[in-house]
């Protein structure tokens, strides 16, 4: 009777995979050994199968851990849960390289291409007088119709530009006006524009991890001081990147744009993408501690979740020093376009169920226009890969592609209320509007479960909790516990020189705690007042972190 | 340096004539790896970014794209034999960005001569030889006896 009981208990332990709970087996060791031998033999027909032998040295273990986490992100069901999980490692956020639109350091095209793994192709044959090969019968007809209206709009905005001190508002107003005109004139020929959504000044932010740069001074020093970490001191390090865009206007559609080149880009790239090995701070960029935010201008669940066109201002070029030279200024525009395009496509891919750590399975395309009213440049960008981190060596990276024109002049100037020298540059813009999105044959959301968004979750408590937590995280408010700091006097008299040995040790650095390693869920749950409890013993509210 | 203090001009003072500026710039080896077109200087605390740019452009005729400065905190240390903590002077660090075509490598200021290199290589051998010689001299009186043998 006793043997039967022990056997059933052992079976229970095996089924629950409780490897750590061995005390029960140890207490009944004689019987358990015999039973387990019989059990193993009966299960595998005599031969015992062992788990795969893993390399337990430092690097492979770390890589396995990261990979396991990436697989966890992939397996989560809803978009919002994935986006929260990306932020789970840190309560106060990551130290991100701050990439704000319009702040472009000197000679940063290599850096931009490197962190987005983008291959850039300049379409040199496009001229102002004749947008070669692009002009069709339809575009030229529509352009001729539009021309007087555009001229009116240009004159109006030129005058308001002179009147107002704000340099940007008249341009964004001009762009909105032009968009309305074009949409109205093309609606008959391009019915997909009727279904498109137009957003004015949407919130655009993208977060990813770019890999392979030199370790920082402090990381290297910290590793050098540990005997067993010494050999890893010079290993390349990943950097968190946070892009904050500032689009004037975005057009989006329910279906994606058709790809422009092959998905597997190894064939159509004849040169290597430049690799930037230095710490991004050498360019003058700063680090900022914040949560990684991926938001393409709308909340998850909107039906129009693919890109058509986005407009960005390039007025910042006027503030850049002239000594940089015209060639560098042209490159700065390319930088802005690459970041604006990648920074929109990445959050859009995240809404399809991918993440900065899970690569897309099909290409995504977007079109970007940079303008200051007079000068226009047009870009199209194809995202083939969004996994920029260097954790997995076996991952063979695909390249992203960007095609762009140089800065083209729309008109020579405005004099006496008349536009002088109007070019046919807008035909390129019309072509972008005519580029028709179409349905793909591939599965668009392979990594999303049955419930694709938090709003689909049936359990009300969990749904409400996840929704509010997601929105709170994305609001970027300071955390409930303020960020800890080491005061200057503490650094001098307590850390660098131990002069106050008799004082009680209460601060985190004295207790050996790194507060920035605190995870997102390491906080007290909300307290339920006694009057509101359904179960008298449940003092704390449940949390539903992924 | 011409004066101890940077003369602040007050209205009504006689016209300020500075024949030698108070400004100095010291090219230093970068602590962190930099692209080859970025130089690192320690500069006089009074110098602004504009001063650094003018100094290099006007005096040395070097094309400057961008200048970034920061003030590095001086190190703290216990005073010798006294024990209390003192702090050394702060340093203003200037990062000067040159046009990207220019490549600069920090020079090796004290290159070793051939003799020095050979000396360094044979240093260990010489030390062993000297130690053996000393041992022999010490044990002159009891030659042929092993080193461990003593009363």
Quick check: A168 pLDDT over 90?
Answer: no
Question: Is residue A79 in a domain?
Answer: no
Q: Binning pLDDT at 50, 70 and 90, where does residue A46 land?
A: low
Structural domains of chain B in order of their starting residue, each with its CATH number: 1-106 (3.30.70.330), 112-151 (no CATH)
Considering the domain architecture, whether residues A316 and A428 belong to the same structural domain is answered as yes
Show the tokens assigned to A259: 């790809």
Cβ contacts below 8 Å, chain A against chain B, sum to 43
- The answer, yes or no, to whether residue B143 has pLDDT greater than 80, is no
Q: Which residue of B has its CA nearest to A216?
A: B32
In terms of domains, do A395 and A250 share one?
Answer: yes
Q: Is A105's Cβ below 8 Å from some Cβ in B? A: yes
A45: left (phi over 0), alpha (psi -120 to 50) or beta: left
A259 touches chain B (CB under 8 A): no
Residue A506 pLDDT level (bands cut at 50, 70, 90): very high
ipTM: 0.84
Where does residue B10 fall: left (phi above 0), alpha (psi -120 to 50 degrees), or beta otherwise?
beta
A53 in any annotated domain: no
**Is A460 in the same domain as A426?**
no
Q: What is the pLDDT of residues A339-361, one digit of tens each?
A: 999 999 999 999 999 999 999 99
Rounded mean pLDDT of B48-72? Answer: 94
Q: Is A510 helix (H, G, I), strand (E, B) or coil?
A: helix
- Write the Ramachandran bin of A278: left for phi over 0, alpha for psi from -120 to 50, otherwise beta: beta
pTM summary value: 0.86
Separation in Å, CA of A165 to nearest CA in chain B: 27
Residue A200 pLDDT > 90: yes
Residue from B94, B97, B93 nearest B35 by CA: B97
Nearest CB partner across the interface for B78, out of A281, A284, A497: A497
Cβ-based neighbour number of residue A201 at 10 Å: 13
Structure confidence by residue, pLDDT tens digits, A351-408: 999 999 999 999 999 999 999 988 999 999 999 988 887 755 555 678 899 999 999 9
Nearest CA in chain A to B66: A106
The verdict on residue A14 lying in a domain is yes
Q: Is A388 within the bounds of a domain?
A: yes
Select from A103, A104, A105, A107 the residue whose CB has the most chain B CBs within 10 Å, as the one to mutate to test that interface.
A107
The reply to whether A488 touches chain B by the CB within 8 Å rule is: no
How far, CA to CA in Å, does A141 sit from each of A132, A144, A146? Answer: 16, 5, 9
Domain boundary (A386, A404, A434) is at A434
Specify whether A466 is located in the same domain as A393. no
> Number of folded domains in chain A?
3
Name chain B contacts of A328, Cβ cutoff 8 Å.
100
Residue range(s) defining the domain that contains residue A478: 454-532
Residues A399 and A487 occupy one common structural domain: no
Residue A151 and residue A28 share a domain: no
Closest partner residue to B65 among A282, A323, A492, by Cβ? Answer: A323
Interchain CB contact of A327 with B (< 8 Å):
no
* pLDDT interval class at A517 (50, 70, 90): very high
Same-domain status, A21 and A168: no
Instruction: For residue A281, list chain B residues with Cβ-Cβ distance below 8 A.
Output: 32
Contact A170, A153 (CB under 8 A): no
Look at residues A379, A399, A434 and tell me which one is the last residue of a structural domain. Answer: A434
What percent of chain A clears pLDDT 70, i.e. is strictly above it?
93
Answer yes or no: is A86 within a domain.
no
Q: For residue A114, list chain B residues with Cβ-Cβ distance below 8 A.
A: none
- Residue A100: what are its φ and ψ, rounded to 5°? -95, 145
Residues in B closer than 8 angstroms to A275, CB to CB, are none
Cβ-count burial of B116 within 10 angstroms (0-12 exposed, 13-18 middle, 19+ buried)?
A: exposed
**Tens-place pLDDT, residues A458-480:** 999 999 999 999 999 999 999 88
**Could you tell me if A421 and A501 lie in one domain?**
no
* Residues in a beta bridge with B42: B26, B93
Residue B38 has pLDDT above 90, yes or no: yes
Residue with tokens 């729309």: A410
CB contact under 8 A, A217 and B32: yes
Q: Cβ separation of A497 and B63 shorter than 8 Å?
A: no
Express each pLDDT in A232-246 by its tens digit.
Answer: 999 888 899 999 999
Q: Are B66 and B97 in contact (CB under 8 A)?
A: yes
- Examine the domain organization and report whether A206 and A298 are in the same domain: yes
Beta carbons of A497 and B76 less than 8 Å apart: yes
Residue A443 domain-assigned (yes or no): no
Confidence at residue A463, expressed as pLDDT on a 0 to 100 scale: 96
Mean pLDDT of A305-327: 93
Last residue of a domain, one of A385, A405, A434: A434
Q: Say if A50 falls within a structural domain.
A: no
| A284/B66 Cβ within 8 A | yes
Residues A203-221, mean pLDDT to the nearest whole number: 92
Q: Under an 8 A CB cutoff, do A323 and B100 touch?
A: no
- Residue A492 has its nearest CB partner, among B32, B33, B85, at B85
Residue A51 lies in a domain: no
| Minimum-distance CB partner of A278 among B34, B87, B100 | B34
Are residue A233 and residue A297 in the same domain, yes or no?
yes
Per-residue pLDDT, A353:
94
Mean pLDDT to the nearest integer, A513-522: 93
pLDDT value at residue B83: 87
Q: pLDDT digits over A62-114, tens only?
A: 989 999 999 999 999 999 999 999 999 999 999 999 999 989 999 999 999 99
Shared domain for A276 and A146, answered yes or no, is yes
Tell me, yes or no, whether A180 and A275 share the same domain.
yes
């Amino acid at each position: 009777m006793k043997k039967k009981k022990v056997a059933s208990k052992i079976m229970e332990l095996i089924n629950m995979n409780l490897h750590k709970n061995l005390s029960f087996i140890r207490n009944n060791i004689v019987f358990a050994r015999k039973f387990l031998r019989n059990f193993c033999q009966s299960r595998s027909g005599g031969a015992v199968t062992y788990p795969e032998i893993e390399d337990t040295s430092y690097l492979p273990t770390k890589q396995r851990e990261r990979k396991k986490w990436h697989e966890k992100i992939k397996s989560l069901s809803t978009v919002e849960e994935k986006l929260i999980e990306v932020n789970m490692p840190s309560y106060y956020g990551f130290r991100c390289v701050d990439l704000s639109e319009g702040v472009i350091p000197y000679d940063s095209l290599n850096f931009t291409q490197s962190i987005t793994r983008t291959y850039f192709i300049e379409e040199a044959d496009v001229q102002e007088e004749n947008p070669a090969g692009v002009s069709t019968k339809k575009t030229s007809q529509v352009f001729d119709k539009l021309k007087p209206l555009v001229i009116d709009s240009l004159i109006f905005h030129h005058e308001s530009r002179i009147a107002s001190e704000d340099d940007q508002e008249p341009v964004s107003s001009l762009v909105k006006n032009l968009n309305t005109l074009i949409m109205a004139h093309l609606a008959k020929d391009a019915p997909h524009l009727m279904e498109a959504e137009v957003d004015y000044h949407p919130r655009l932010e993208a977060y990813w991890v770019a890999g392979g740069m030199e370790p920082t001074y402090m990381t290297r020093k910290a590793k050098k001081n540990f005997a067993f970490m010494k050999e890893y001191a010079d290993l390349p390090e990943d950097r968190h990147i946070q892009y904050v865009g500032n689009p004037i206007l975005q057009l989006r559609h329910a279906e994606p744009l058709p790809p422009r080149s092959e998905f597997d880009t190894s064939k159509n790239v004849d040169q290597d993408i430049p690799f930037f090995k230095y710490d991004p701070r050498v360019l003058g960029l700063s680090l900022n501690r914040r949560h990684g935010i991926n938001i393409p201008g709308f909340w998850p669940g909107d039906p129009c979740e693919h890109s058509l066109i986005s407009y960005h201002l390039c007025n910042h070029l006027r503030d850049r020093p002239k000594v940089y030279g015209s060639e560098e200024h042209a490159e700065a525009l390319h930088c802005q376009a690459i970041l604006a395009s990648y920074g929109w496509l990445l959050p859009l891919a995240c809404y399809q169920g991918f993440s900065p750590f899970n690569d897309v399975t099909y290409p995504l395309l977007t079109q970007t226009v940079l303008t200051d009213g007079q000068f226009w440049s047009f870009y199209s960008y194809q995202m083939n890969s969004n996994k920029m981190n260097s954790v997995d060596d076996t991952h063979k990276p695909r390249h992203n592609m960007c095609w762009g024109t140089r800065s083209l002049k729309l008109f020579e100037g405005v004099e006496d209320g008349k536009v002088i020298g109007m070019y046919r540059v807008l035909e390129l813009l019309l072509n972008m509007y005519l580029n028709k999105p179409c349905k793909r044959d591939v599965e668009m959301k392979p990594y999303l479960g049955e419930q694709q968004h938090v709003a689909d979750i049936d359990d009300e408590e969990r749904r409400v909790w996840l929704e509010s937590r997601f929105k709170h995280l994305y609001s970027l408010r300071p955390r409930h516990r303020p960020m800890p700091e080491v005061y200057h006097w503490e650094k001098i008299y307590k850390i660098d020189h131990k002069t106050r040995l008799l004082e009680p040790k209460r601060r985190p650095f004295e207790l050996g705690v790194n507060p920035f390693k605190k995870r997102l869920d390491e906080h007290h749950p909300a307290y339920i007042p006694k009057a509101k409890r359904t179960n008298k013993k449940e003092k704390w509210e449940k949390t539903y972190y992924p | 340096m011409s004066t101890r203090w940077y003369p602040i001009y007050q209205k009504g003072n006689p016209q300020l004539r500075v024949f030698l500026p108070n400004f100095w710039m010291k090219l230093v080896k970068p602590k962190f790896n930099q692209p080859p077109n970025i130089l690192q200087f320690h500069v006089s605390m009074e110098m602004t970014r504009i001063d650094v740019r003018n100094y290099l452009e006007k005096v040395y005729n070097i094309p400057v794209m961008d200048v970034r400065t920061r003030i590095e905190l001086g190190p703290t240390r216990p005073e010798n034999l006294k024990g209390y903590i003192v702090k050394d002077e702060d340093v203003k660090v200037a990062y000067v960005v040159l046009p990207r075509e220019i490549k600069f490598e920090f020079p090796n200021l004290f290159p070793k001569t051939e003799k020095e290199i050979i000396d360094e290589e044979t240093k260990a051998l010489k030390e062993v030889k000297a130690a053996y010689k000393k041992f022999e001299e010490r044990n002159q009186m009891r030659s042929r006896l092993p080193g461990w043998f003593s009363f």
